[in-house]
Chains A and B, each alone.
Chain A
């Protein structure tokens, strides 16, 4: 393949990845703006959100930190809760980083940018450039929207504030759809093992997730639930081999 056609092919791959990441970034915008508006209420400034977004990129962690410092919760407790909330990134980082053949620093930077949204928008077949495009789009959308939120906070009339309550729904909806697409793709009869077994394993995984959410709570169910789902899927996979 000539250098020119390689460049065209690389551009195509990146634009394909951006086609998946940009809608996710758009859906993130209202959530990020909401964070900016809330941060303005405790006098955080745009440059502080910019640095926080880039260096400490984790939307759920930022929301939790903001909420807990307003409730005067001690820093060690805040750290522990945010750590528990973010434990779900361990299996994501494990599987999303394994295919990347990179030196330590770029690999660390790429891993730091893994998010629910990037994980859902990336494809197993994506190369490093495509994954980078997806992750940077999400980081830029999140950080940009928080900064816009804090800058626009003063301009939003009090009467419109109640409408911000529902602004987390679009990103939940988007993550739900992307997760459902990925699970349904796994259920299609092309993986070399019976569909009925896979459907049963997924159904059991969903049921266990619901039970563990009720028993352990929404913050602490992640790791046990992912481990059990993975165990069930592995068991069915082994049986079918």
Chain B
């Protein structure tokens, strides 16, 4: 195994220990009310940021193409549960690829 890959693995394991493993063992000296807030509200706060990040990063990388793909997601959202997650994502990806490469090269 190459030295660079070993260094990469050690580095990424160290990051994982800091950001994922250590927080799992942090005792929370807080009230039940605070724990209830962490269980209910913290995931919502994370999802707000994760969703915003996904949309913005795609649009920032390729404004027209990413914008078309994200717009397709917004349009499909009301029917997403009915048509299924995979169909929704596949349809938006088709729009994205269509915008990127055009109908002739698809």
Contacts and interface: CB of A to CB of B under 8 A. Distances in A.
Given A57-B16, A107-B24, A108-B21, A175 B77 contact: no
B54 interface: yes
Interface residues of B, number: 66
B104 to A, nearest CB: 14
A191 B41 CA distance: 11
A68 B35 CA distance: 39
Contacts of B82: none
A230 B7 CA distance: 36
A215 B41 CA distance: 25
A183 B23 contact: no
A124 B57 contact: no
A98 interface: yes
Contacts of A8: none
A154 B64 CA distance: 31
Contacts of B86: 23, 26-27
B19 A175 contact: no
Contact of B41 (A176, A218, A230): A230
Contacts of A206: 48, 52
A32 B101 CA distance: 22
B27 to A, nearest CB: 10
B44 A90 contact: no
Majority-rule SS of B interface residues: helix
A86 B17 CA distance: 11
A172 B54 contact: yes
A111 B1 CA distance: 26
A107 B12 contact: no
Given A44-B5, A94-B42, A230-B42, 6 more contacts: A58-B15, A79-B15, A111-B20, A191-B40, A226-B46, A237-B40
Interface of A: 23, 26-27, 43-44, 47-48, 51-52, 55-58, 61-62, 65-66, 69, 75, 78-79, 82-83, 86-95, 97-100, 104, 107-108, 110-112, 114, 116, 119-120, 124, 162-163, 165-166, 168-170, 172-183, 186, 191, 202, 205-206, 209-210, 213, 218, 221-222, 225-227, 229-230, 233-234, 237
Interface of B: 1-2, 4-5, 7-9, 11-21, 23-26, 28, 35, 37-58, 60, 65-66, 69-70, 73, 77, 80-81, 85-86, 88-90, 92-93, 96-97, 100-101
19 contacts: A55-B9, A56-B12, A58-B16, A83-B18, A88-B19, A89-B23, A93-B19, A95-B38, A95-B43, A95-B46, A98-B35, A120-B47, A169-B96, A172-B57, A177-B77, A180-B51, A183-B44, A205-B45, A205-B49
